[in-house]
């Protein structure tokens, strides 16, 4: 059996939000205040997550990504990862984190079964970093990155969401970071999720600016190597540099035709598309493998051929609501 949707896309990748809580309040992910978090009783237990993943693995899920919120604030995350890594059929587990507690957890997470790591680092200027995250500690995150390198995660990808007025002037600095460090710096378009039209439009930076800034700085970007992972990034490198850069443009050039992923929210909903409201509740069936398999297929039937993010401004202005969850609630 395989998870194939009506558009012949094979799904072997499940992104799991293990919590909707976070120790930061990044401007593109979560409002500064007024966020309503799930009660602890509303968040899936370890047993429920494991049960859902086991059913998915029997249908062909092979790769997992642990997300949040901030996944490292979940209690006993290491033990959960160990259990997920032991599920027959699961071949790869990655983690997306803001790095705030990574220095303390990197080695334990690596031993538990996390092989790849994405770290959100939207600025290398402490003041700008604090402004974007609303109270993040840049030095603490950098120490977490060093610990991740020491622990042996490979590859390590730095996620940089470009936000006008916050970090768009640092593009060249991030590219130059790959000169000595074997990192993958991924520039990501700011997505209109949980935003009003004016706010999104005012902050959006097209990724064509990456090429413009590189050219102005005398840096030549050539096609890069394909990087192990499940993401939609297009890779480039500066000749002679140790690392690469990636571009992810869900707004200006969507990658729906090759989408291979489903999302599991922290409260136990299977979400077939990041940018749409349709979802299927699976938590109540977490210990019923056959029913879970039915629900996986039900979620696939809801998956659209493509999302409408490129028309985001028009949709929002016309009062349409592509998704009602904030990014922190979906898991990115």
325 is in an annotated binding site: no
By DSSP bridging, strand 269-271 and strand 280-281 are: antiparallel
259 is in an annotated binding site: yes
35 is in an annotated binding site: no
273 is in an annotated binding site: yes
285 is in an annotated binding site: no
Q: Is the Cα torsion angle 70, 119, 225, 85 positive or negative in sign?
A: negative
15 is in an annotated binding site: yes
29 is in an annotated binding site: yes
228 is in an annotated binding site: no
Decide: helix, strand or coil at residue 94. Answer: strand
204 is in an annotated binding site: no
Distance of CA 168 to the CA centre of its chain: 20
311 is in an annotated binding site: no
Please say whether the beta carbons of 222 and 59 come within 8 A: no
Distance of CA 71 to the CA centre of its chain: 11
120 is in an annotated binding site: yes
Q: What whole-number distance in Å separates Cα of residue 194 and Cα of residue 277? A: 12
Can the peptide bond before residue 218 be classed as cis, meaning omega within 30 degrees of 0? no
Query: Taking Cα atoms as reference points, which of 238, 223, 243, 228 lies closest to residue 158?
Result: 243
191 is in an annotated binding site: yes
111 is in an annotated binding site: no
Please say whether the beta carbons of 177 and 124 come within 8 A: yes
Query: Taking Cα atoms as reference points, which of 263, 240, 265, 289 lies closest to residue 42?
Result: 265
The β-bridge partners of 223 are 236
Q: What whole-number distance in Å separates Cα of residue 12 and Cα of residue 276? A: 20
Annotated binding-site residue numbers for S-adenosyl-L-methionine: 28, 69, 120, 191
Annotated binding-site residue numbers for [4Fe-4S] cluster: 22, 26, 29, 256, 259, 273
Annotated binding-site residue numbers for GTP: 15, 65, 96, 157, 261-263
Annotated binding-site residue numbers: 15, 22, 26, 28-29, 65, 69, 96, 120, 157, 191, 256, 259, 261-263, 273
């Amino acid at each position: 059996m395989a998870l194939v949707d009506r558009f012949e896309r094979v799904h072997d990748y499940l992104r799991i939000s293990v919590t909707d809580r976070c120790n930061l309040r990044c401007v593109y992910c979560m409002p500064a205040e007024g966020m309503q978090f799930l009660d602890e009783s509303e968040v899936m237990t370890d047993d429920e997550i494991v049960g859902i993943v086991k059913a998915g693995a029997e249908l062909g899920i092979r790769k997992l990504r642990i997300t949040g919120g901030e996944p490292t604030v979940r209690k006993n995350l290491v033990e959960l990862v160990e259990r997920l890594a032991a599920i027959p059929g699961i071949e790869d587990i990655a983690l997306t984190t803001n790095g705030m507690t990574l220095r303390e957890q990197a080695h334990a997470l690596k031993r538990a079964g996390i092989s790849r790591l994405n770290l959100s680092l939207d600025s290398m200027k402490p003041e700008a970093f604090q402004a974007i995250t609303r109270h993040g500690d840049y030095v603490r995150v950098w120490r977490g990155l060093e610990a991740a390198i020491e622990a042996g995660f490979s590859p390590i990808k730095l996620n940089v969401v470009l936000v006008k007025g916050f970090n768009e002037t640092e593009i060249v600095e991030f590219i130059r970071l790959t000169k000595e460090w074997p990192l993958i710096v991924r520039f990501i378009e700011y997505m209109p999720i949980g935003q009003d039209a004016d706010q999104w439009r005012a902050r959006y930076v097209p990724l064509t600016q990456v090429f413009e800034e590189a050219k102005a700085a005398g840096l030549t970007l050539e096609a890069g190597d394909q990087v192990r992972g499940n993401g939609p990034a297009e890779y480039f490198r500066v000749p002679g540099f140790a690392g690469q850069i990636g571009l992810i443009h869900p707004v200006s050039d969507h990658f729906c035709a090759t989408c291979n992923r489903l999302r599991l929210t922290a409260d136990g909903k299977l979400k077939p598309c990041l940018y749409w409201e349709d979802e299927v509740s699976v938590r109540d069936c977490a210990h019923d493998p056959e029913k879970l398999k039915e629900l996986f297929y039900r979620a696939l039937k809801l998956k659209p051929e493509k999302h409408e993010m490129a028309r985001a401004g028009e949709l929002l202005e016309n009062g349409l609501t592509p998704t009602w969850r904030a990014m922190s609630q979906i898991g990115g």
